[in-house]
């Protein structure tokens, strides 16, 4: 995203009137530090609360972590650091520990996002943000290709609702670098380069959206039923089923299923 993109997003978000938080996520937003920090400053000056999600690679020592975070003091109300065995060789890495320590020194609210391994099962000792009783990660994109085979397999017919998003009255959206406005990554409801965010939100109609309406009716399993998709033998979770179904449906619904990068096409 360019600074011009960020400025356009912030202005449109301000005009919507009901948006409270702006998060800078990636990939890894700290790779574009100057753009990220100026965007944060603009967001804070416009009255938004600001959050950022990072893997903390930049926290190579406490001193380095402190210097990276100092310019963000007073701007960031939520620093979320990803640390798990997908990012490092240990669950809570040294980089994460230094980032947490530096954030505490500078009074930046901070927390850790830790996703459990797919082979860890469904026991209560598994860490992660997903509810107990389910695989503790969302199987989309690269996670499908690389990790789904390691998870416990489930019958597709049980996934009769979206367990993570309120599709009737969504409380958040994701914006990408080419302008798509996502209800969930890969499911677009408009493009802020073509239509103002206020117009996109005002015209949001889950009943007429070919993917969202189906998910509301019967979850990811309904995508297979409605569009007569032959199921695989089993799926790791609802996201896995939803993602695989959307990959198949992309040619049919290219306007709402994109961009390519979300679906592993570069």
pLDDT tens per residue, range 61-114? 999 999 999 999 999 999 999 887 666 677 678 999 999 999 999 999 999 887
pLDDT of res. 61 = 97
For the chain, percent of residues with pLDDT exceeding 70: 90
Q: Are 192 and 179 in contact (CB under 8 A)?
A: yes
Pair 200, 247 in one domain:
yes
pLDDT (mean) for 121-129: 40
Domain membership of residue 122 (yes or no) is no
CATH number of the domain where residue 63 is located: 3.20.20.70
Pair 160, 243 in one domain:
yes
pLDDT tens, residue by residue, 11-30: 999 999 999 999 999 889 99
Domain membership of residue 84 (yes or no) is yes
Pair 145, 264 in one domain:
yes
Domain boundary among 60, 81, 114: 114
Band (35; pLDDT cuts 50, 70, 90): very high
Strands 180-184 and 174-175: antiparallel
pTM for the structure as a whole: 0.87
The domain tally of the chain equals 2
CA-to-CA distance for 209 and 182, rounded, in angstroms? Answer: 13
Domain membership of residue 233 (yes or no) is yes
Q: Are 126 and 116 in contact (CB under 8 A)?
A: yes
Pair 85, 178 in one domain:
no
Domain membership of residue 124 (yes or no) is no
Domain membership of residue 129 (yes or no) is no
Pair 227, 110 in one domain:
no
The alpha-carbon radius of gyration of the chain (Å, integer) is 19
CA-to-CA distance for 102 and 2, rounded, in angstroms? Answer: 28
Element (H, E) at 41: helix 33-45
Pair 106, 145 in one domain:
no
CA-to-CA distance for 196 and 193, rounded, in angstroms? Answer: 7
Element (H, E) at 85: none
Pair 85, 37 in one domain:
yes
CA-to-CA distance for 8 and 266, rounded, in angstroms? Answer: 26
Domain membership of residue 251 (yes or no) is yes
CA-to-CA distance for 23 and 62, rounded, in angstroms? Answer: 24
Domain boundary among 47, 80, 114: 114
pLDDT of res. 123 = 38
pLDDT tens, residue by residue, 167-214: 999 999 999 999 999 999 999 999 999 999 999 999 999 999 999 999
Pair 150, 257 in one domain:
yes
Pair 166, 100 in one domain:
no
**Residue 90 belongs to domain spanning:** 1-114
Domain membership of residue 147 (yes or no) is yes
pLDDT of res. 132 = 41
Pair 92, 168 in one domain:
no
Domain membership of residue 127 (yes or no) is no
Pair 109, 18 in one domain:
yes
3-state secondary structure of 174: strand
Residue 11: CB partners within 8 Å, gap ≥ 6? none
């Amino acid at each position: 995203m360019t600074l011009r993109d960020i400025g356009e997003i912030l202005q449109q978000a301000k005009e919507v009137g009901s948006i409270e938080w702006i998060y800078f996520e990636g990939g890894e937003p700290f790779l574009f530090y100057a753009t990220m920090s100026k965007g944060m400053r603009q967001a804070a000056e416009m009255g938004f609360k600001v959050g950022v999600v990072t893997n903390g690679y930049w926290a190579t020592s406490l001193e380095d972590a402190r210097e990276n975070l100092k310019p963000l003091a007073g701007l960031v109300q939520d620093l979320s650091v990803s640390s798990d065995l997908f990012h490092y060789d240990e669950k809570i890495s040294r980089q994460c520990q230094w980032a947490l320590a530096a954030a505490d020194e500078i009074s930046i609210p901070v927390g850790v996002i830790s996703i459990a391994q797919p082979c860890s099962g469904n026991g209560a000792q598994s860490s992660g943000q997903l509810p107990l009783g389910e695989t503790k990660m969302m199987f989309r994109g690269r996670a499908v290709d690389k990790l789904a085979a390691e998870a416990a397999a489930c019958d597709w017919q049980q996934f009769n609702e979206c367990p993570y998003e309120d599709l009737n009255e969504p409380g958040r959206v994701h914006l990408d670098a080419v302008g798509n406005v996502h209800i969930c990554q890969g499911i677009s409801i408009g493009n802020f380069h073509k239509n103002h965010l206020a117009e996109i939100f005002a015209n949001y109609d889950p009943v007429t959206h070919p993917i969202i309406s189906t998910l509301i009716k019967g979850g990811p399993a309904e995508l297979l039923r409605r569009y007569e998709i032959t199921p695989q033998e089993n799926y790791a979770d609802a996201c896995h089923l939803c993602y695989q179904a959307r990959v198949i449906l992309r040619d049919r619904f290219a306007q709402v299923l994109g961009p390519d990068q979300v679906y592993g096409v570069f």
